[in-house]
Amino acid sequence: MILTYLFSVRGARAEMSRIVTAAGMEPDADLGPVVTREAKERIEGLIAKGEEEGANVILDGRGIIVPGYENGNFVGPTIIHHVKVCLVGR
């Protein structure tokens, strides 16, 4: 069971690491920007709050810089593990 779990987490991380974050109109983009700077800050804040409360950030999309869109509202692929249920919706 533990071995299967480890392969699942590693596999998910590897797959999500291949996601291309770029401007939504770029042909190779899999993931575009969030709608506003406030939305980006909220998402990054929720990731940080989860981390503070004991969750493990396995793949961290905070602080991503997309070349040509350095001031864009991008949050890259993120995997958070061991999230407390009480965090959802805060």
CATH number of the domain encompassing residue 66: 3.40.309.10
As a whole number of angstroms, the distance between CA 3 and CA 12 comes to 14
pLDDT tens digits for range 59-74: 999 999 999 999 999 9
* pLDDT of 10: 77
The pLDDT of residue 15 is 86
Summarised one tens digit per residue, pLDDT across range 11-69 is 888 888 899 999 989 999 999 999 999 999 999 999 999 999 999 999 999 999 999 99
- Secondary structure class of 21 (helix, strand, coil): strand
Bridge partners (DSSP) listed for residue 21 = 31
* 89 pLDDT higher than 70: no
State residue 1's pLDDT score.
42
Which of helix, strand or coil describes residue 55? coil
Domain carrying residue 24:
2-87
